[in-house]
Amino acid sequence: MRGGNDTANIRRVGVLTGGGDCPGINAVIRAVAKRAILEYGWDVVGLEDGFEGLIHGRSRPLSYEDVSGILTLGGTILGASKVSNPYRYAAGHGGEIVFEDVSARALANARALELDALACIGGDGTLGIACRLMRDGLPIVGVPKTIDNDLRGTEVTFGFDTAVAIATEAVDRVHSTAQSHHRILIVEVMGHKAGWIALHAGIAGGGDIILIPEIPYSLEAVAAKIRDRQTRGKRFSIIVVAEGAKPKGGEAVVRKIVERAPDPVRFGGLAFILAGDIERTTGIETRAVVLGHLQRGGSPTAHDRILATRLGAKAVDLVAAGDFGRMVAVQKGEIVSVPLDIPGAGPRLVPLDHPLLAAARAVGTSFGNEI
């Protein structure tokens, strides 16, 4: 924090990766570091484990060599944390969790590291914290990250394409058993409160029924669709369900509460409950597969590598231009920047008039709400 908005004074930029891992993070780190080093001649510092590194002063220099060869790697070479928030830091006191404001320490560490700017790669939680640090004096730019594709201000996030590709392959593969054994196969995908992954993978994989949080389902409608397929000679059905989907008048299935995390709710397991309900209702053998973290792991797709590279380079250009408090984003296919606080307005859900819903219905796909 040496030069404030005076970009001529920039010598050193930090980069951190908050929230969950996501395919393409390393491609962003690489782009940030290479652009900063090659174009501007700055030093780059990687903070370890998200804000944890800022709070405890854990960092390491990132040279050109350090970021060479990481484009295709899953995860984040810097480590990440979903629980570390400098404004509400969970400290253990005699087995009890006590939350403390350690933001002054985090800001002091940024000064000690002589960071002139910080690029925060993360989702709504990370970017919300970034907004507060920015207001408290740390010049920040944001890079939106999530497989869920639910961040406001950007049309797409890197990691989403990879998650959809993995989920689609899973849907493709369960067809074999569903078709051979005349079963119903349910594939549960991630997405938190949004149905983007389920919608895309459901259409790409030819799911017969797609259940998303934005359209509460009824068991009767799901069963009716399965019976309708049977009368047409289709003895199997594939259901793609978002982890956050819920029945009409009901709630999503919570798998776990992570008390220390800013966003403590973890969804998951609906597919197993639904499998039992459907088997009882239709009399057809039903199986469930929950993909979970498989969707976040491994190498990013070409699309995500390209997007991550463009976003990372643009983030550095924002720093060079003194455009702090901004998040790089995609709008109308172009890389732009928007205010950093936009993702804080809540998740970007699937609008009920989204063209992909119509496209799916056009080929007979049910959203489990037809009766």
Cα(356)–Cα(246) distance, integer angstroms: 20
Distance separating alpha carbons of residues 371 and 165, to the nearest angstrom: 31
Give Cα separations from 369 to 185, 215, 218, 246, 331 (angstroms). 19, 7, 6, 11, 32
* 190 is a site residue for ligand F6P (CB under 6 A): yes
Set 148, 161, 304, 341: catalytic member: 148
Q: State whether residue 347 is helix, strand or coil.
A: coil
Name the token pair of 108.
């002091």
Of the candidate spans 8-16, 96-104, 164-172, 187-195, the one that interacts with ligand F6P by CB under 6 A turns out to be 187-195
What the block records as the tokens of 173 is 């593969």
Identify whether the C-beta of residue 218 lies closer than 8 Å to the C-beta of residue 247: yes
The residue type found at 10 is I
User: What is the full DSSP assignment across 141-194?
Assistant: EEEEB-TT---TT-S--BTHHHHHHHHHHHHHHHHHHHHHHT-EEEEEE--TT-
> Which residue, 262 or 325, has its beta carbon nearer to ligand F6P?
262
* Cα–Cα distance measured from residue 1 to residue 46, given in angstroms and rounded to the nearest whole number: 16
Q: Is 200 in the site for ligand F6P (CB under 6 A)?
A: no
> Catalytic residue at 43?
no
Position among 35, 296, 310, 348 found at the interface with ligand F6P (CB under 6 A): 296
Could you tell me which stretch among 63-71, 141-149, 164-172, 234-242 binds ligand F6P (CB under 6 A)?
A: 141-149
DSSP state of 350: P
Instruction: Establish if 82 lies at the interface with ligand F6P (CB under 6 A).
Output: yes
**Of positions 76, 146, 168, 301, contacts ligand F6P by CB under 6 A:** 146
* Nearest-angstrom CA–CA distance, 205 and 112: 51
> What binding mask, one character per residue, do residues 14-43 give for ligand F6P by CB under 6 A, x or -?
------x-----------------------
Residue closer to ligand F6P (CB basis): 62 or 289? 289
User: In the bound complex, what is the minimum distance in angstroms from residue 125's beta carbon to ligand F6P?
Assistant: 9
Assess 240 for contact with ligand F6P (CB under 6 A).
no
Say whether residue 304 binds ligand F6P (CB under 6 A): no
Q: Is 147 in the site for ligand F6P (CB under 6 A)?
A: yes
Rule CB under 6 A: say whether 192 interacts with ligand F6P: yes
Residues annotated catalytic, as ranges:
148
